Structure 1
Amino acid sequence: MSEELITSVWGVGRPASPTRVMNSAQLIHFHLRDDIISMRRRPGEPINEKDITQAYGVSRTPVREALLRLSEEGLIDIIAKSGTIVSRIPADELPEAILARKAIEQMTARMAAELAAKSDVLKLRAIVERQKEALRSNDIDGFHDEDEALHRSIMAAAGLPGIWRFVEGIKVQLDRFRRLTLPQAHRMERALAEHVELVDAIGAGLSEKAATVIGDHLDWLGASLPKIREIGPDYFSGNLEDAHVRWARRSPAPSVAPASPVGNRAGASDIAPRAGHMEIKSREGA
């Protein structure tokens, strides 16, 4: 495989096809990053440089460039004389990431409710429909992909598509944590109901309601902080209980009841609990 330009390997993994040509180092970074954030590569798991060079048919130079970039992002640890491992999720960074993302997304949800065109709302509703399909088929990766698309599209509807780049930087470690929350009992059903309520508020021009719904939606992550360690105690650095205390001091507790389906919200048959979400999954099943 050429180390200059690669254009035909986009079928590998779950990420959407990029819209530009990447060189070898960029492509390897793209796929490894997605594997780490999606938790296909688990915290503490070794990364073998030789295996990657063989898989992509390249020399070690682009592989090392990709790994260096991942290290700078805090996604891998390169340990002298010991090798490279996927970094553990830093618990201390999660409260700040939740609060920063909440502040930005409440602002953009308000603006979307005030400024969204009918075509924007139709796009948001289409994304929600795809999330329903992902839930019905127990497709956690697909559900997460549509979750990303919804939040990104709300910012575009607010006339601020560039803000998503800043949010992506804020939520790198938070995304790894979020992927662990999805297999919790009814978590995906609850997220879907909240998304339906959010899109309904934006479509109706209810700016404050949209801000409240998205704030509660993100607050739930903070409430999950002390519960997730049982899925993988070795996945984290720092103390999740301490992180939860820090988050709780800065944010009101979210309601414990999931959004109820009314009006145009997802009906009970659309978001009925599936067996795959009835309990927290093991390390292999998240």
Structure 2
Amino acid sequence: MITLEPSQDAKRLTTTEEVFRQLKSDIISLKLAPGAKLSEAEIAKACNVSRQPVREAFMRLGELNLLEIRPQRATRVRKISHEELRNTRFIRAAVEVEVVRMACQVAQQDQLDLIAENLSLQRQAVDASDAAMLKSLDYHFHNLICLAANCAHAFKVIAQNKAHTDRACTLELSDAEGMQEVLEGHTGIYDALCERDEETAVARTRFHLRHLDATLKNACKNSPDFFED
């Protein structure tokens, strides 16, 4: 009979998860710019871990198309792909439209109150020009709507696709105007949810997601080296 050693295995998995989350965060926040080279050995040294969890984190990021891993060649942060952005936005829109429809029908008042609290924090983040905080609250805002719709599983799909759009959104949130537009978009969706107005909620959700078009146009103009195809 084979006996596993859960303590060692759990520690390795936890280390892999920590490295994965940190690298993913740095990629999405553009601390690791598109096209940047990554060294497995250097990251392992910086994180004070062995190379194995770094290698596993690299593989997971490669599966998300955030890293370009080529044998015998340097691993790079993938540039932002226009095609992938179009595909992921389509998937997000399809899912989120149905989520807000359901939320209009079944959301409880305590769930709407949690969304209102999130929006209040978003206003504070905008007033403080805290783009990092607003991005985090944006993530939780969409999750709260899924929870209000009793569609928690849907957020897994949304989160997977947000990994691609969030890098472009980081560029959007670099100025006060972009931050204010995100807040206004979220507020409009929330107001429609409170009114149980499905069609308005859907229309505002679609508009909120289409806003990415202008973001991409400006980002491509200002940071062309970040993009491919």
* TM-score where L is the length of structure 2: 0.90
Distance 1:163 1:150 in 2: 14
Tell me, in whole angstroms, the C-alpha distance in 2 between the residues paired with 1:205 and 1:151.
Answer: 17
1:116 aligns with 2:70: no
Does residue 190 in structure 1 map to residue 148 in structure 2? no
| Deviations, residues 86-126 of structure 1 (Å, cap 9, x unaligned) | 11111111122222211211111121111111101100000
Q: Does 1:23 align with 2:19?
A: no
Residues 159-193 of structure 1: per-residue CA shift (max 9 Å, x gap): 10110011122232112122112225611111111
Q: Distance in 2 between matches of 1:44 and 1:151?
A: 29
Give the root-mean-square deviation of aligned CA atoms: 1.9
* Superposition pairs of residues 105-144 of structure 1, within 5 angstroms: 105-144=96-135
Greater helix share, 1 or 2?
2
Counterpart for residue 47 of structure 1: 38
- Which deviates the most, 100-109 or 217-226? 217-226
Aligned to 1:83: 74
Mean CA deviation greater in 225-234 or 123-132: 225-234
Q: CA-to-partner distance for each residue in 1:27-86, whole Å, 9 max, x for gaps?
A: 111111111112121101111222211222221111111112211221111233332111
Which deviates further from its counterpart, 122-131 or 89-98? 89-98
- On the 8 A contact 1:3/1:24 being kept in 2, the answer is no
Q: Which runs of 4+ in 1 moved over 6 A?
A: none
Give distance in 2, aligned partners of 1:194 and 1:63. Answer: 38
C-alpha separation in 1, matches of 2:193 and 2:209 = 17
| Aligned amino acid, residue 51 of structure 1 | E
Matched position secondary structure for 1:186: helix
User: What secondary structure is seen at the aligned counterpart in 1 of 2:121?
Assistant: helix
Partner of 1:171: 162
The Cα shift of 1:3 comes to: 6.9
Mapping for residues 62-101 of structure 1, pairs under 5 Å: 62-101=53-92
Kindly indicate whether the alpha-carbon contact (under 8 Å) linking 2:126 and 2:176 is maintained by their aligned counterparts in 1: no
Matched, 1:237 2:228: yes
- 1:99 and 1:223, CA in 2 relative to 1: closer, same or farther beyond 3 A? farther
**Residue aligned with 1:226, SS:** helix
Residue 198 of structure 1 and its aligned partner are, at CA, apart by 1.2
**What residue ranges of structure 1 are gaps of 5+ in the alignment?**
7-20, 239-286
CA–CA distance in 2 between the matches of 1:46 and 1:59? 19
SS in 2 for 1:173: helix
**C-alpha spacing 1:206/1:148, structure 2 compared with 1 (3 Å):** same
- Supply the distance in 2 between the matched residues of 1:225 and 1:33 (Cα, whole angstroms): 20
Partner SS, residue 103 of structure 2: helix
**Which segment is superposed worse, 49-58 or 131-140?**
49-58
Counterpart residue type for residue 208 of structure 2: H
Moved more, 164-173 or 78-87: 78-87
Percent identity of paired positions between Structure 1 and Structure 2: 29
How far apart, CA to CA, are the structure 2 residues paired with 1:90 and 1:122? 37
Per the alignment, residue 144 of structure 2 pairs with 153
Secondary structure of the corresponding residue to residue 44 of structure 1: coil
1:180 partner amino acid: L
